[in-house]
Structure 1
């Protein structure tokens, strides 16, 4: 039976610790476990990871099951990884879930959302999406994002374009296949954006996939090829990323409303101090990541900021505090979405990581996460010490008396009864880019609005407990009342 670990694991966790002085309030204590080195690739690595996480009083593992178009698992839409460090037939995700759940640890499936491949040699699996929809593919079959000059490789990576409808469908199915086949506690988006490439403060330069461009022209009436800084073009590309997050969240919640949907979000440079200021921030302008909207619209259960700053560099320390303050402000305004600050341990010494955790928690955030298990401080990152030497030291610092993780803390799954969602689709000559309104059936008041994706899909995750209607153009659905814990599929709308 699923979820039996919730009780047994929690009792195991508490029984091994000193008596708690009163109830500990929920606090997410996350650990990113990447797949770029040892972590959970063998049964022995999984055993050690779970033991190390327990000793540090971590409660959530963000395990990188999807690296670049592959999966560290045997049952997913992506092909099984060809990483030679994984024993033949071994399923890392399945093994991690059994062992982590037995110890009261949650496992969230972390997938790099848009990266597809990064080696000059193609993947050996002929069905890998790089082989079928990469640089050798033509027309609509090519899913790669491009710059205006035709460059289709961001550094070493080939990257999927969120504006291509088939690429977006493939990405959504990656996550859904994992949650259908594995008893994960959540999913995490990573690099759910366009690639880097602009100088600091520059415009978003990627998104020129030919199929995406055709969509943009058809949906907006624009002609020619827009410049990277064109405001309408920039807004359209941001919306494609937002559509992708929304539709994946809805599909995952339809499988299990108690699954946590979270994202590792960008915090480049100086932090905003207001929502309006966020629209001038580097995440918003340079890579098309409007995570403020994802929080406000309830597309996420947890926003995990990649607040990767050096604590010993004054300007970066100020940026770290600024993003924490902005997230704390959002938490007060949208308390349904947890706000977590993630630190780059590989950029810092151990005391700096402890200091950043304390600072984030004192700001009033929902928790703190460490990147990464493989590189727990800058000495390891520089190759001067080993992870095996450093991890026990760092763990001891975090769990010492009066330190951030001195005692265990719970982190509950999202409550199913807080979810009320609708999703649907439209068809017609141009299904994408259509404004969709959620109306109060009695008063006609517009409660919310969004835009359809390239396949004509739409959805809302914060539907009030009243009768509602969905309207697209002149077409309307019948009135429905959404019950708690449901993602209701609305009848399709046919548009002229």
Structure 2
């Protein structure tokens, strides 16, 4: 057994008893491409529109029950989208028809439903690949390959946006501007922001000759991807600085001093430099796709965290490997990975894909709800963007009402960023004052009003003491206003 893993296994009993953190990203990817996670029903009439919406609500309800707090909602797939766009057509998965209007706005619906449940909604956008020739042909005149053919290139049997063309970043930013400008998303999350793997023959010789400026082909390609990341990051921050900008890079950056990447890594294989992006401060979060076990996971997770420059590293966990059709993982592999992430004070983890959470594959959902996520968690703060908490909510009133419920009300807090009103976190306990550092006491988060009805499921479990804090969209939390029945 390798020494690295042996030490981890020795530590495991102690790590597994760690308290749940109060601040932690708990994310799930909801995959729309091919309807893998959602939707199952095509929206073609009022009844099926309602059914399609209810399928998403069921997913969000179940994730909320398990104290997830972040939804990565697929918003762009391969040159098509899940919202009414002036740039690209609707994805056919919604209606069965290319460009078919589903009769509602799926992205607006997802944002609204996430916010109702105190969860963040990040628009997950696949960037560079445009799909195979059949898919591109099916989009007809609406395809970017027809509308903006100069920035598209064929490679093998697929089409891609060309990162070497400076107009590509403009095109992607146009899509991002639509999403960030028109929707109250909490983040934009970029997938496949890279070249195809092992692509020495990618057709960009003309662009390299024109723009290479003495760099190697590899460095030029890497710089092209970094420039897209930089351009989009800065563009989003001009619009709405609180919107989180993230990517999901290949899960191994490159070889580490601890372990080899065995020829599969972000830096050399697909020309990504995500540690460079973190160092430059042009990412708020990264979700490295760490769908690996053992020495292919732990040394590389440590490497990401050590090079994070204080930004949030949220490893993507390959929970799909728990299904016998996908792999031969046992659930304790995921348990160990979450324990390790917490032991290293990483920002949280993301689950790929939500179907395997919903299906309780190998008891994963039960384990999360009973053990790892048995209490809520708040979003980690982003001090590099804003580190000033809102004012403390004042005049907290606690009033018993019918059915054993309790109404809380308070005066609005204020924040230094005038564009956003603060949200509120509700705490409850049998002890006074309520300990707001204990996540067990969190009752609700991201409350957007200045009142809240406390309605315990079991009347005799009702708490007597309450606290309310204000929290801004950068994750800064105020001091608490305390109250009692």
Structure 1: how far apart are the matches of 2:364 and 2:187?
Answer: 26
Mapped pair 1:131 → 2:131: no
Mapped pair 1:34 → 2:38: no
Does structure 1 conserve the Cα–Cα contact (< 8 Å) formed by 2:318 and 2:352?
yes
Q: How many residues align?
A: 345
Decide which of 80, 91, 97 is 2:111's aligned counterpart: 97
Mapped pair 1:143 → 2:151: yes
Shift of 1:189: 1.1
The gaps in structure 2 that reach 5 residues or longer are 1-18, 40-51, 323-329, 388-473, 475-485
Shift of 1:324: 1.1
Secondary structure of 2:141's aligned partner: coil
Specify the alignment match of 1:437 in structure 2. none
Specify the alignment match of 2:56 in structure 1. 46
Does structure 2 conserve the Cα–Cα contact (< 8 Å) formed by 1:33 and 1:61?
yes
Structure 2: how far apart are the matches of 1:258 and 1:189?
Answer: 17
**Mapping of 1:76-475 within 5 angstroms?**
77-85=87-95, 88-121=102-135, 122-133=137-148, 141-145=149-153, 152-154=154-156, 157-196=158-197, 198=198, 205-209=200-204, 211-216=206-211, 219-220=213-214, 232-268=216-252, 271-273=255-257, 282-309=265-292, 311=293, 317-331=294-308, 334-335=309-310, 337-348=311-322, 349-376=330-357, 389-390=359-360, 393-400=363-370, 403-412=371-380, 414=382, 417-418=385-386
Structure 1: how far apart are the matches of 2:249 and 2:117?
Answer: 28
Does structure 1 conserve the Cα–Cα contact (< 8 Å) formed by 2:23 and 2:378?
yes
Shift of 1:366: 1.0
Secondary structure of 1:285's aligned partner: helix
Specify the alignment match of 2:68 in structure 1. 58
Structure 1: how far apart are the matches of 2:113 and 2:91?
Answer: 21
Specify the alignment match of 1:427 in structure 2. none
Structure 2: how far apart are the matches of 1:76 and 1:357?
Answer: 41
Shift of 1:322: 0.8
Shift of 1:91: 1.6
Shift of 1:417: 4.7
Does structure 2 conserve the Cα–Cα contact (< 8 Å) formed by 1:325 and 1:363?
yes
Secondary structure of 1:258's aligned partner: coil
Distance 1:85 1:344, change over 3 A: farther
Structure 1: how far apart are the matches of 2:185 and 2:239?
Answer: 12
Structure 1: how far apart are the matches of 2:228 and 2:244?
Answer: 16
Structure 2: how far apart are the matches of 1:330 and 1:130?
Answer: 38
Secondary structure of 1:61's aligned partner: strand
Shift of 1:414: 3.8
Secondary structure of 1:188's aligned partner: strand
Does structure 2 conserve the Cα–Cα contact (< 8 Å) formed by 1:354 and 1:398?
no
Does structure 2 conserve the Cα–Cα contact (< 8 Å) formed by 1:345 and 1:375?
yes
341-350 or 320-329, larger mean C-alpha shift: 341-350
Shift of 1:74: 1.3
Does structure 1 conserve the Cα–Cα contact (< 8 Å) formed by 2:331 and 2:362?
no
Secondary structure of 2:152's aligned partner: coil
Structure 1: how far apart are the matches of 2:66 and 2:361?
Answer: 9
TM-score by length of 2: 0.65
Structure 2: how far apart are the matches of 1:60 and 1:72?
Answer: 19
Structure 2: how far apart are the matches of 1:214 and 1:271?
Answer: 30
Does structure 1 conserve the Cα–Cα contact (< 8 Å) formed by 2:145 and 2:152?
no
Does structure 2 conserve the Cα–Cα contact (< 8 Å) formed by 1:271 and 1:326?
no
Shift of 1:269: 8.6
Shift of 1:245: 0.2
34-43 or 252-261, larger mean C-alpha shift: 34-43
The gaps in structure 1 that reach 5 residues or longer are 1-21, 134-140, 146-151, 199-203, 221-230, 312-316, 377-386, 420-484, 486-496
TM-score by length of 1: 0.64
Distance 1:266 1:28, change over 3 A: same
Specify the alignment match of 2:22 in structure 1. 25
Does structure 1 conserve the Cα–Cα contact (< 8 Å) formed by 2:20 and 2:375?
no
